[in-house]
Amino acid sequence: MMNTLQSSCTSKLCILTNALHGDSLQTRMAAVPALVAFGANAVESLCHKMLNDDNDEVRWRAGLALGMMRLNEDECLDPLIEALYHDPVDLVRDSAAWALGEIGDQRALEPLLTALNDGNEQSPVLAAYALAKFGAVGIAALQTVVEESADETNRHRRNAALAALAWAHIKMEIEAEYN
């Protein structure tokens, strides 16, 4: 069946989409970054892979690709939020958090705040930096996290928020100096 699909496929997008859904792991992994150039036309396939590929690295790469495209597409947000909440692999959740920060849709604020409670070391940090990318609303949310996380049980969450706030402050100073 795949050979029939590939032989009738002439556009680069079609060929890469077929490769993304093929059996070869190496081919699927190579197809993900190549699809970034096709922007909105590749979102559906990448979102499908973000949620459904059996390989962690393909799902991770799909999340990164969706973030690199920075498309505020409805069909893109739900799979990223779903991966952020439910993917069993830390790196996949991390790529979803990063991608949501790059996209910057307000609907991702609450899921990113929830991700600050992720049990691994890296995911809360990436979620905090993603929140900082939302500007004033994200910074206000991070400040609230700092204020509400003063006890020792929320130390990691608080430290992630503080690091992201420091990064946002430095970024704003640099931008003000050069603009």
Give pLDDT tens digits for 62-106.
999 999 988 776 778 999 999 999 999 999 999 999 999 999 999
Q: Rounded CA gap, 76 and 101, in Å? A: 13
What pLDDT, on a 0 to 100 scale, did the predictor assign at position 2?
Answer: 46
Whether 5 is covered by a domain: the verdict is no
Indicate the SS3 state at residue 99: helix
- Confidence check: pLDDT of 169 > 80: yes
Q: Tell me how far the alpha carbon of residue 23 is from its chain's centroid.
A: 25
Q: Rounded CA gap, 20 and 62, in Å? A: 10
Whether 3 is covered by a domain: the verdict is no
What pLDDT, on a 0 to 100 scale, did the predictor assign at position 76?
Answer: 82
What would the pLDDT profile of 131-156 be if each residue is shown by its tens digit?
999 999 999 999 999 998 877 777 88
Q: Rounded CA gap, 168 and 3, in Å? A: 50
**Do 17 and 40 lie in a common domain?**
yes
Provide Rg for the chain, Cα atoms: 18
Give the count of domains, the chain: 2
Which residues in 8-43 are b (16+ Cβ under 10 Å) and which e?
Answer: eeeeeeeebbbbbbeeeeeebbebbebbeebeeebb
**Do 99 and 14 lie in a common domain?**
yes
What would the pLDDT profile of 2-58 be if each residue is shown by its tens digit?
444 445 667 999 999 999 999 999 999 999 999 988 988 888 888 888 888 999 999
**Do 129 and 71 lie in a common domain?**
no
Give the residue among 51, 53, 46, 11 at the shortest CA–CA distance from 31.
46
HSE on the CB side for 175, CA within 13 Å?
6
Whether 21 is covered by a domain: the verdict is yes
**Tokens (6 digits) for 169:** 């402050």
CATH number, domain of 152, equals 1.25.10
**Do 132 and 58 lie in a common domain?**
no
Question: For the chain, how many residues are written?
Answer: 179
**Do 148 and 163 lie in a common domain?**
yes
Q: Rounded CA gap, 125 and 159, in Å? A: 8
What would the pLDDT profile of 101-132 be if each residue is shown by its tens digit?
999 999 999 999 999 988 888 889 999 999 99
Q: Which domain holds residue 121?
A: 107-179
Which one of 79, 103, 127 terminates a domain? 103
What pLDDT, on a 0 to 100 scale, did the predictor assign at position 86?
Answer: 94
What pLDDT, on a 0 to 100 scale, did the predictor assign at position 3?
Answer: 45
172: confidence class by pLDDT, cuts 50, 70, 90: confident
